[in-house]
Structure formats: structure tokens, C-alpha cells
Chain A
Amino acid sequence: MSAIRLIAVDELRLMARNRVAVIALALLVLLTIAAVVSSWAHQRGVAELRARHQSAAEEAFDAQPDRHPHRVVHYGTFIYRPLGPLAAFDPGVDAFTGNSMFLEGHRQNTVNFGDVRQSSLLVRFGQLTPAFVLQIVAPLLLIFLGYGVLARETERGTLRLLLLQGVSRRQIVLGKLSALGAVALLAGLPAMVGFVLIAGQPDALAAPMAVIAIGYAAYLALWTVVIVLFSTWAKRSRDALLSLVAVWAIMAVLVPRLAPDIASAATPLQNRFQTDVSIAEELRRTGDSHNPEDPHFAAFKQSVLDRYGVARVEDLPVNYKGVLALEGERMTAALFDRYAEASHAAQTRQNALVRAAGMFSPTIAVRDLSMAAAGTDFDGHRRFLEQAEAYRYALVQRLNHLQAEVVSFADDTAKDAGADRRKRIEAENWREMPDFAFRPSSGSELAASAMPGLLMVLAWLAAANLLLVAAARRLGGR
């Protein structure tokens, strides 16, 4: 024990004497603090802005005058994706997804105005968040602080002296490992302090936060082990440095960029143009509302007449135009759902492929677990999209119901000068429409979705430890 401790303390003393190492560590700490502060301020700002826009949109909707319900279907409403508290730690895909969505009848619009299209080119350099600092920057810093821990001793021959003094190989490696581990702890600490501050927010969830903390601790531990491992293998400091930088560049920068390219080539997505054209075509095939002799709509009309036991639409107790609008919306929404489902499934397959690349890059694994636990990954976005579509459909159908039940068929088809006034229904109806409320995932759901990533990071850590045990046995051998 004392030998391990001596070696660790000695290594730390050496690092402390190395001015550059101290400056580098100080830089990392400063960077983390800057990341925590700016990311938090950004998240708060964005959350407030979206809440403000949301209430402005809701007010505008409620303030509509007397209108024909179908006008309101096209007036539509805007909804904004709210941002959870953990987005301050890891905003994930938020800047890329857009945050405002226009909901209207017969159309499924895209989510627009993402930061990525509203910012300068700098946005593609990465976003300064605590997650980014821990995933990318901290490992590189640890490499430059630790690549020499054993390679230096081997190169200078001091390793031999240590061994001659009766210190075991295991003790040497453990000593160096604990020294670098202490530095890693120091490097990760500010981010975790920031994390705890974020946790002070009202609706932060405990389970995903715990997963994130464990995940990053394991990730930094992994890098510590890998660095010591390479330093054990290398005969010269320079070899250790170059190979570690190569490993870092591959794992933290290269594979995370390469895997998406492979994934998008493996599973191409249908673009919006193709989707819109296909939906229009399918819709025409099921039932063409513009064709007066269309069999689907003729059968539909007959079924409505039969249900009410009348012979003409004019005799129906409900407004047939509203009934038709209900049927039309049902048909388009079913298609929207099917196409959206297919697109989401394709994107999920792409993401699964990237996730599998976590076998080659622990950075991918930790990024996945981090985004999943923060609820800022694709699944979180998909959840928003699905709830938005469900809300859109319910809203439009409520309005179509109003048209069917409150506006009379005679008024609705009238073309005289006063018809416009008679078609309108009371503004009170708009205020009764429920507002959109995003239901975020529960804490246990988030934690569960982060499990695959966490397990992968832990598997990496276990594998690296096994390799280190094997390498330590041969330390100093020729």
C-alpha cells in the first residue's frame, strides 16, 4: 500500500512541478466553468423564449374572432418544443431539430428554426457544454498529462531501478493509475459541480442524473486506464504520446463522425419531396375528393346517409361538409402516421448502427447514454413529434366536429352576401380548445434508455482493465 501511495504521490508531485500541466488543468477547469455557465444561461434563455412564444401563440389562437371552423383549421397553431432541465448539461440534438412547429389541417409541417440554421458557421465546431468538455476535451488533456507515466520510466531506465528496489510491477502500475485517476477526478469535478447546480432546478430527475454521473465517471476512468495501458506498452514516451493521440483522434473525433456517414449510406431516408408526392399519390388512390364519381367517397356518402336513414345530404341532421372534412382528415392523418413511422423507424435504424459503433468508440457510447438520460436524443425529439401530431389531429378533428354539428349545411353551402356571417361560430369555441402540453419521459424511462450506453462504457472499462492487468505483468520485460 505505501509503495503504491509513494509512487502516486511522486507522480503527482512531478505533474505539479510541470508548469504546463498545471496550466492545462487550470484551463480545463476554466473551460468547464465557462461551459456550465453559458450552457445553463442558454438553456434558461431558450426555455423562457419558447414558453413566451408558446403563450403568445396560445393567446393568438384564443383571441380569434367568430370564424368558420375550417378557417381555424387553416389558421392552425404553433407549438414549441420545451427544453428539460438536463438539457443545460447536454442539449443533445436540440440545436439541430428546430423548435417551432406549425400545426394545421391536412398538412404535416416540419419543425423549423433550429439554431443550426440561425447561427454562424461556428455552431458546427461543437457546442460548449459540460458534456462536450467531458467527452472530448478532458480525455485529450489526460493523455497529455499521463502518456509518460510509465513510458518515461521505461525510456530513462528508472523503471529498472524501481523494480530493483523490490517494488512489484502491480504496485508501480497501481500507483501511476491512482495518480492519473486523481487528476481525472479533478478534471471531472467542476462539471459535476455544475451538474449538481443544474439538479437544483425544480423538475430535474434523480435517476437519469445518477446514470449520467456514473457514466461519465466510468468514461474518465476508462481513459485513465487506457492511458496507463499505452504508457505501459510503449518503450518510448513519444511512441506512447503518438499512439494515444491517434487513439483519441479515432475514438473521440473520427468514429463519431464516420459512423453517421456509414449509417446514412446504409439506410437512406426518404426526403420530404418524395414523401409529399407519395402521400398525395396514395391519397388519390384511396379516394380522390376532387373526383365527383370517386368510389370511396361515393360509398362513404352512402354510408352516412344510411346511418341517418335519409336520402339526401341536405336532409342530414349534421353538416355533410363537416362530416366529409372529418373523413378527409382521418385519411390524410393515417397516411402521415404511416410515413412518419417509416421515417422514424429508418432514423432509429441509423442510430442503432451508430450505437453499434460504440464498440469502436466509447465516446459514442457515453454520448448516447448522456443524451438519452437528458432526454435530448432523437427519441426525445420523436416523442415531441408524435405528441405534436396527435395533438394536431385531435385539434383539427374537434374543429371539424364543430363544423359538422354547429354550422348548418345550408349556411355552409350558401353563397349569398350574408352567408359569410352565418357560417361563423362563436369565438368562445376557440378558447375551449385544450392547449398543447408536452409530456416528457419519466425519470425511470430516461434512465432505462441510457442503460445500453452505460453498459457499453462499463464493458469498455472492464476490457481495458483486463488488458492493463496483462500488460502490467510484462512491464519492463525485454
Chain B
Amino acid sequence: MSLWSHELRLLLRARLSVVALILLSALTLAAVLAGLAEVSRQRDAIAAIPAAQAKDIGAVAAWIDVDKDAGSAAYYSFHPTWDAPSPLAFAAIGMRDVSPYILRVRALGLEAQLYDGDVFNPELALPGRFDFAFVLVFLVPLFVIALFHDLISSEREAGRLRTLDALPSGGRRLFVRRATLRLGLLWVALAAPFAIGALLSIAPLLAVFAVLIVTALYLIFWIGVALLVSLLRWSSVANAATLAAAWLVLVLVLPTLAHVAINRAIPVNQGAEIALAQRDAVNRAWDIPREDTMRRFYANHPEWADAPPLGVAFHYKWYLAFHQNGDESVAEAVLAYRTGLERRDAAARSLGWVLPSVGVQAVLTRLAETDLEAQLAYQDRIRAFHERLRAFYYGYLFRDRAFGKADFDRAPRFNDEP
């Protein structure tokens, strides 16, 4: 034990290793706080929905109530959906800064609404968020390099290496001790601020442990790289340059190169094409016999087929039917688009097995539920909600039931639980 405390004293006597450790914990703390602030902003925005929504829908209900037309109610009522941040979202903001977490939909064509974004400043999003994942993936390797590049070579350069080798419990055991000590201190510098954040946001224990383990593994990976380089018995300068090159390649160069390669290898039929096709399918309904539209709609939705036939005048059931037909006409393209996105994501994930930087980012955003999978899951929840909305309004439209003020309260509400 005294050997350990001696090593600790020795390490802490070097001003720069102390500065490095303090800097790392300060950065981690700042990142955790920034993440918490962002998440609480998002929570506040979600919490503000009901009041504003009630006011908005109240105004719509007031004038709809005069004619009690269910079609106008469906057309003019927007229904909010939201995607509440998970307890660990503070650690990895992931896509939550560029994808909407609040989206209002109405019972019209969903494909024209689902891909809408929210307001965000692109210049602020460009460099990426300052969160725990960023500190871990990008900055930690640099601290490992700073503390480990001359672990052995400095002793050699000082002419002490042979003496240390000859000492009892010196040599390899000495360096294992030193490496373990540094690993432990780095891990604490990261884990302590993270644990504070996790505690504050009441994150599930299992996920917190997973993050802590991933943190340790990533540290061990970089320490392993540093020790491998030290086996080459180069000078400290050469070690540092080699490790910096390794950092550059593993954290910056390969992920960006892989990004280009993946987007090339897996072409995603641009979402813009879906929007274009859906718009044409929807608007074509105005130029074809209305019975064609209804036939097609009833074929897919026989539960409404017993509705009274269309008269000469405009009826919203026809309008909503061709909107749904429009959605269904692009279903294949939508599926292909989604599959393409998932394949891109899967390709990046499998790359994570080879590239620890990518792997850690993928694991953290998965645990924090802020990755593409979570975004798509939110879209699925919107789809399911939208289906309920349609069924709700169709129940009035296809049965020619009046839609009064009280009916607005009967409309389905988005349930956040997945």
C-alpha cells in the first residue's frame, strides 16, 4: 500500500499531471452541466405544451361548434406530439439538437408533416454539442496521451530505467502500478461529474453502470495503445507524435472518411423525393373521378365502406380519404427511405466494433436514447398516434356525426410512453 501512496505522491508532485487531471474533471463537470441545462430547456418546452395547446384548440372549437362539421375540425385541429428526453440524455445529446422533439400533426397526410424540423440555429449545431460523450470520445484520449506517452521513456531518458528494473517489485510491476494509478485517477475525473449528473436526473442504475464501464474500457483502450507504442522503445517525443497521429486517425480521420464511404455505399433515396411524390399523389385526386378515390380508400379500409355515398357537394371524408391514399401510395418509398437510414446507422454501428471512438459514441447515444433509432421510434409513435387521430375523425365523418365543442375533448391525446 505504501508503494501505491508513494506513486500517488510522485504523480501529484508533477505540476502538469495535476493540472491535466483537474482540467479533465472541470471539463467533464462543465459538459455534464451543459447537458443538464439543455435537457431541462427541452423539458420546459414540453411542459409548456398543454397550456398553449388548450388555448389554441379552444379558439378552433369555438367556431367549429357553430356548424359542427367534423371535417373542419379535422382540418383545423393540430395535435401536439413530443419526445421527452431520457434521464441519460444529458450525457449524450445525440440528435436531439437537430431533430424535433415537439411536432404537431393533424389528420391530413402524415408524410407531408412527419419530416418537418424545428427551429434551430445551424451555426450552433455545426460544431456539435458540448456533452459528456464529447469529452469522453474526443478529449480523453488526449489526456491519456499526455499522462502516458513518457511513462516508461522518461525513466529511460533520465537513465533510471535499468535501476528501476533491478529493484524488488520494480520493472514491469512498477509500471503496471503507475499505469493503474493513472487509469484510476482519469476514471474518477470522468466518473465523478457524470455520477453527479446521473444522480440529479435520477438515471436508471444499470445504464449508469454501463456508461461507467464503457468509460473505463475506452480509457483502457487508449492506455493500451500508449503502452503498445512504448514497447517500440522510442523517445518521448516520438511516442507523443505517434500517439497524436493515432488519435487523429482513430477519432477524427477514420470516422469522417467512413462517413463519406457509408453515405456513398448506401445511397438513401432522398426524403425530398417522398415529399414530392406524396404531394402529387394527393393533389391528383382533384383531377380524377372522386369515386375512384373512394373505391381505393374503401378497398384498403373496408371498415368505413358502408358510409353513405358522396353527394355533389364537397365532403371532407373524400378529402381525408385522398390524403390517406396519398400516404399509402408512397408507403414503399417511405419504407425504403427508412431502411436506408437504418442501414447507414447499422453500418456506422458495426464500424464501432473496430473503431472505439465510434463504438463509444454509439453506445452512449443508445443508452441515452438520443440516436437515430430513438428518432425513428419517436416517428413510429407519431405514426401510431396519427392513426388513432384518423380513426377518431373518420368515426364522425364517415358516419356523418356532428362534431361539437365537447368532442374536442374526446380527441386522442399523445401518450409519451413508448
Contacts and interface: CB of A to CB of B under 8 A. Distances in A.
Contacts of A148: 237
A273 B95 contact: no
B255 interface: yes
B120 A113 contact: no
Contacts of A275: 119
Contact of A122 (B118, B255, B268, B275): B255
B257 interface: yes
Given A274-B52, A277-B56, A113 B272 contact: yes
Contacts of A42: 260
B130 A125 contact: no
A75 B268 CA distance: 25
Interface residues of B, number: 105
A122 B150 CA distance: 32
B248 interface: yes
A127 to B, nearest CB: 6
B335 interface: no
B407 interface: no
A411 interface: no
Given A114-B117, A272-B102, A281 B244 contact: no
A117 interface: yes
B287 A67 contact: yes
A102 B98 contact: no
Interface stretch (A233-241, A304-312, A454-462): A233-241
B279 A271 contact: no
A475 B152 CA distance: 30
Contacts of B236: 237-238
Contacts of B38: 261, 264
Given A112-B116, A128-B259, A136-B252, A121 B94 contact: yes
B100 interface: yes
B358 A121 contact: yes
A265 interface: yes
B165 interface: no
Contacts of A478: none
Interface residues of A, number: 110
A316 interface: no
B86 interface: no
A127 B16 CA distance: 33
Interface in B289-345: 312-314, 341, 344-345
Interface string A414-446: 011100000000000000000000000000000
A379 to B, nearest CB: 9
Nearest to A21: B241
Contact of A120 (B104, B241, B272, B372): B372
A258 interface: yes
B34 interface: yes
A124 B53 CA distance: 34
Interface string A251-277: 001101110110111001111111111
Interface stretch (A217-225, A326-334, A346-354, A463-471): A346-354
B353 interface: no
Contacts of B116: 109-110, 112, 272
A60 interface: yes
Contact of B255 (A110, A125, A417): A125
B139 A253 contact: yes
A60 B280 contact: yes
Interface string A117-154: 11111111111100010001100110111001000100
B124 A263 contact: yes
Given A140-B244, A258-B30, A27 B252 contact: no
Interface string B381-405: 0000000000000000000000000
Given A114-B98, A117-B99, A96 B272 contact: no
Contacts of B263: 115, 119
B130 A343 contact: no
Contacts of A140: 244, 248
A263 B41 CA distance: 13
Contact of A137 (B63, B248, B357): B248
Contact of A121 (B34, B45, B118, B348): B348
A27 B23 CA distance: 29
Interface in B141-185: 142, 145-146, 150, 154
**Centre residue among A127, A254, A354 by max chain B CB count within 10 A:** A254
B157 to A, nearest CB: 10
B221 interface: no
Nearest to A284: B59
Interface string B110-122: 0010011111111
B128 interface: yes
A426 to B, nearest CB: 14
A273 B275 contact: no
A381 interface: yes
Contacts of B1: none
Interface string B225-249: 0000000001011101110110011
Interface string B281-292: 001001100000
B215 to A, nearest CB: 18
Contact of B122 (A78, A93, A118, A256): A93
Interface centre among A125, A136, A137, A269, by most B CB within 10 Å?
A125
A122 B259 contact: yes
A20 interface: yes
Given A116-B98, A269-B121, A351-B123, A31 B271 contact: no
B130 A111 contact: no
Interface stretch (A1-9, A194-202, A242-250): A242-250
Contact of A96 (B126, B260, B357): B126
B9 interface: no
Given A112-B116, A276-B104, 4 more contacts: A27-B245, A53-B273, A246-B20, A269-B119
5 contacts: A38-B260, A125-B358, A128-B257, A253-B138, A273-B45
* A-B pairs with lowest CB-CB distance, top 7: A120-B348, A128-B256, A93-B122, A260-B124, A125-B255, A122-B259, A100-B272
